[in-house]
């Protein structure tokens, strides 16, 4: 443990009392806990994502429910459940917790995170959600196999063996449809693709709404890019576009801040200001979209402070019970001013949001907003 970590734990009483004072005893949410996380050298990327997920109510509830199940062999999800349970059952309202067990397990399971270099928060989010989904699917598969052994039914059709959807999919999964229209015969073909988070390109002086519209812009395939049309049995000019077919309960939206520059032979950061709303309406949905409720509330942002992917610092700002709170590793502060500053596109030299989480409007209405 570093000197900074020891100092943060020693000072947590001061930070805690300041936060409680800022919120006020009458306004402080009942049964809520605001705990900073100790940084183990380079783990701000992890801490920032964990805070965003902790304050995503359906995710937190499912993780805590997993903790309440019978004892399981240690994995990344059991370590996450232990961490969330430790926060949720604290006697104090605010403080600092070292997520040592979770970090150790993460580094043990994936070499990418087993070093002291700065990591990408979005890459970690993607890895964590997919790993949890894999763990849950494997457990369901084992339960099925054990049930078959007991019932003596080992010859079920193959389609019954495909992975089941988990609560991770129920919360975060949406569906994109890739539509291609042949300009010769007008035949439209489509292919669906599921996602747990949506990555979009970023431009200078733009907005989230603009980025999403660019994501769904129609692209013409011509010259060497011509499309092979099954109906025409030949390559033809075509138009291609991407649409959201199924909207997720929680939309994790990632801006591609880091771009590989051929002339530099390395990734560089696109430090563009992007205006974002506290409420987001998704327009780029397909005509047969399953869910027509397109309004989302902003509930968390992950911010990268620094000049490149391998340097800098991550923080998170979350909305909880109507309060905007800043989580900067072990430090927790009321953070509404930072949200307003970022949202208005004000000049804040090194502060760039890279991941947003939006929830369906009304989802947290009786608890977290």
Spatial separation of the C-alpha atoms in residues 316 and 23, rounded to whole Å: 18
Q: Would you call 33 a catalytic residue per the annotation?
A: no
* Residues 152 and 116: beta-carbon distance below 8 Å: no
CB-based contacts of 184: which residues, under 8 Å, 6+ apart? 229, 232, 236, 237
Catalytic residue among 44, 79, 211, 354: 44
Dihedral-angle region of residue 226 (phi above 0 means left; psi in -120 to 50 means alpha; beta otherwise): beta
Structure tokens given for 213: 């519209």
Where do the DSSP E strands lie in the chain? 34-37, 94-97, 174-182, 188-195, 198-200, 206-207, 219-221, 227-229, 234-236, 238-246, 250-255, 258-261, 266-269, 274-275, 279-281, 295-308, 311-320, 323-328, 331-334, 351-360
* Residues 243 and 179: beta-carbon distance below 8 Å: yes
Q: Would you call 182 a catalytic residue per the annotation?
A: no
Spatial separation of the C-alpha atoms in residues 224 and 193, rounded to whole Å: 25
Catalytic residue among 185, 313, 321, 354: 313
Structure tokens given for 206: 């733009």
Spatial separation of the C-alpha atoms in residues 39 and 100, rounded to whole Å: 9
* Residues 297 and 320: beta-carbon distance below 8 Å: no
* Residues 133 and 166: beta-carbon distance below 8 Å: yes
How many of the other CB atoms lie within 10 Å of CB of 167?
Answer: 17
| Torsions phi, psi for 300 (to 5 deg) | -165, 150
Where in the sequence numbering do the catalytic residues fall? 44, 313
């Amino acid at each position: 443990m570093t000197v900074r970590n020891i100092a943060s734990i020693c000072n947590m009483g001061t930070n805690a009392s300041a936060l409680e004072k800022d919120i006020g005893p009458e306004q402080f949410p009942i049964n809520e806990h605001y705990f900073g996380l100790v940084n183990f050298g380079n783990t701000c990327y992890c801490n920032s994502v964990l805070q965003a997920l902790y304050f995503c109510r359906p995710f937190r509830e499912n993780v805590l429910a997993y903790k309440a199940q019978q004892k399981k062999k240690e994995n990344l999800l059991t370590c996450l459940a232990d961490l969330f349970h430790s926060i949720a059952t604290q006697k104090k309202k605010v403080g600092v917790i070292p997520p040592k067990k979770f970090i150790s397990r993460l580094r043990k399971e994936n070499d990418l995170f087993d070093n002291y270099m700065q990591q990408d928060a979005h890459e970690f989010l993607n890895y964590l959600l997919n790993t949890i989904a894999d763990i849950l699917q494997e457990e369901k598969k084992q339960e099925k196999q054990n049930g078959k052994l007991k019932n003596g039914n080992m010859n079920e059709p193959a389609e019954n063996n495909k992975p089941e959807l988990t609560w991770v999919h129920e919360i975060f999964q949406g569906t994109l449809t890739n539509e291609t229209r042949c300009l010769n015969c007008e035949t439209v073909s489509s292919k669906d693709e599921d996602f747990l988070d949506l990555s979009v390109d970023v431009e200078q002086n733009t907005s989230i709404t603009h980025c999403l519209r660019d994501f769904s812009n129609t692209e013409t395939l011509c010259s060497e890019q011509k499309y092979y049309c099954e109906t025409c049995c030949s390559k033809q000019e075509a138009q291609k576009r991407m649409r959201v077919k199924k909207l997720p309960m929680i939309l994790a939206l990632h801006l591609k801040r880091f771009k590989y520059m051929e002339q530099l032979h390395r990734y560089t950061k696109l430090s563009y200001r992007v205006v974002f709303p506290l409420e987001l309406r998704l327009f780029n949905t397909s005509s047969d979209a399953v869910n027509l409720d397109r309004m989302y509330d902003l509930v968390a942002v992950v911010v990268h402070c620094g000049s490149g992917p391998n340097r800098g610092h991550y923080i998170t700002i979350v909305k909880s019970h109507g309060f905007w709170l800043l989580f900067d590793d072990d430090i927790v502060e009321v953070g509404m001013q930072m949200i307003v500053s970022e949202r208005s596109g004000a000049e804040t030299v090194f502060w760039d949001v890279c991941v947003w989480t939006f929830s369906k409007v009304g989802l947290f209405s009786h608890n977290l907003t």
